[in-house]
């Protein structure tokens, strides 16, 4: 199955091959694979092996050049936070589609919807704060064109996220009643 991330990785590797070696997408096939061992990463490509003979370089040297041109890797803390965010987002999406399916079947998933809303609101509020710590930039209020301005606007508006769908206390009360705890 080709996921959008696979296509984005493939396009970025093609761009780097063009920058480094003057190769077009037709000159090099970039296949995206899952490494045999998770300690080697989440995705990989054998493109360095495929180009070694043509470029008359060792595959390891080609791989290091490509990796260097792709940019720095996130640190352990950033990788953990990004992974946690992706996992939470995937879970929220799954929960939301489950609630939508229940609605399509004519059910009234008030407790389930309140739970998804509560978890989603907490997630939404957490994003700007975590990224403020991961990317060393002070938030500012400007024209909204740069990261610092976007971060400033997100942090300024974050307290209002809980008000949009009802306060968290109301949502948690609905959940507690639905679970028979109140």
State the pLDDT at residue 161.
Answer: 67
Domain ranges of the chain: 4-70, 76-178
Q: Closest Cα partner for 157 from 118, 129, 119?
A: 129
Sorting pLDDT into bands at 50, 70 and 90, what band is 43? confident
Structure tokens at 19: 């920058």
Q: Which CATH architecture has domain 76-178?
A: Up-down Bundle (1.20)
Output phi, psi for 33, to 5 deg.
-130, 165
Confidence of residue 1 (pLDDT cuts 50, 70, 90): very low
State pLDDT tens for residues 160-179. 766 565 566 777 777 787 88
- In whole angstroms, what is the distance from residue 17 CA to residue 113 CA? 47
Asked if residues 89 and 123 have their Cβ atoms less than 8 Å apart, the reply is yes
- CATH code of the region 4-70: 3.30.1360.70
């Amino acid at each position: 199955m080709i996921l959008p991330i696979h296509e984005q990785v493939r396009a970025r590797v093609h761009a780097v091959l063009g920058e480094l070696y003057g190769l077009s997408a037709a000159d090099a096939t970039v296949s995206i694979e899952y490494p045999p061992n998770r300690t080697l990463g989440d995705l990989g490509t054998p493109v360095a092996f495929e180009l070694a003979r043509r470029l008359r370089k060792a595959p390891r040297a080609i791989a290091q050049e490509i990796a260097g041109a792709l940019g720095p890797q996130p640190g352990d803390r950033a990788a953990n936070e990004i992974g946690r965010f992706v996992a939470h987002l995937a879970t929220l999406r799954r929960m939301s589609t489950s609630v939508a399916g229940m609605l399509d079947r004519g059910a009234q998933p008030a407790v389930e919807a309140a739970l998804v809303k509560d978890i989603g609101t907490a997630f939404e509020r957490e994003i700007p704060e975590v990224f403020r710590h991961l990317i060393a930039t002070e938030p500012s209020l400007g024209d909204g064109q740069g990261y610092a301005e976007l971060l400033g606007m997100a942090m300024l508006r974050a307290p209002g996220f809980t008000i949009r769908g009802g306060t968290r206390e109301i949502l948690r009360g609905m959940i507690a009643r639905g679970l028979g705890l109140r």
